[in-house]
């Protein structure tokens, strides 16, 4: 925390400023724990004990305003507790089809489909975003069995 800065009180579905806690990575609480004040347990506290995150619902889910991305600012995102990483990976699709659109003054509109393994999806999206030039991500969807021509699978 910045010296002399006092975090505002946490509100339902909000995060108090703190460099050590991310609103997109709330710490899960064990199911046997009791919710506080009839709602839900907070997700961490600053050094003075003020909650950093208080979910809207007892199950740890809710809606919060998007305030970190200019293109989504003003909308709301849904949050919930996730499965432990091993279980989440086991139930996620093994492959994804990433469709990009390529269009420029010198190129006719064109769509490309890439078949990417779950393990490489985030890196591929970053790569296309940073180095794709006129090629932009159009949509992403699960691909249960990539075509043999894709060379993956």
Q: pLDDT tens across 58-113, in order?
A: 888 999 888 877 788 889 999 998 999 999 999 999 999 999 999 989 989 999 99
> Residue 48: pLDDT band by 50, 70, 90 thresholds?
confident
Determine the 3-state secondary structure of 26 from DSSP: coil
Q: Please report, for the chain, the start and end positions of each structural domain, with discontinuous segments joined by +.
A: 9-82, 88-147
Contact assessment for residue 43 and residue 26, using Cβ atoms and an 8 Å cutoff: yes
Closest by Cα among 46, 40, 60, 41 to 17: 46
Of 13 and 76, the one with more pLDDT: 76
User: CA-CA distance, 58 to 54, in Å (whole number)?
Assistant: 10
pLDDT above 80: residue 27: no
Can you tell me the distance from the alpha carbon of 9 to that of 45, in angstroms, rounded to the nearest whole number?
Answer: 11
Residues sharing a CB contact under 8 Å with residue 23, sequence separation 6 or more, in sequence order: 15, 53, 64, 79
């Amino acid at each position: 925390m910045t010296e002399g800065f006092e975090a505002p009180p946490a509100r339902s579905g909000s995060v108090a400023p703190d460099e050590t806690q991310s609103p997109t990575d709330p710490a899960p609480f064990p199911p046997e724990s009791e919710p506080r004040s009839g709602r839900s347990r907070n997700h961490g506290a600053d050094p003075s004990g003020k909650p950093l995150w208080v979910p809207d619902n007892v199950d740890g889910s809710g809606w919060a305003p998007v305030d970190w991305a200019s293109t989504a600012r003003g909308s709301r995102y849904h949050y919930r507790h996730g499965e432990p990483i091993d279980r989440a990976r086991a139930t996620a699709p093994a492959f994804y089809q990433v469709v990009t659109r390529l269009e420029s003054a010198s190129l006719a509109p064109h769509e490309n489909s890439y078949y990417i393994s779950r393990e490489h999806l985030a890196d591929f999206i970053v790569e296309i975003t940073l180095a794709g030039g006129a090629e932009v991500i159009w949509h992403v969807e699960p691909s249960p069995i990539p075509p043999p021509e894709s060379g993956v699978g």
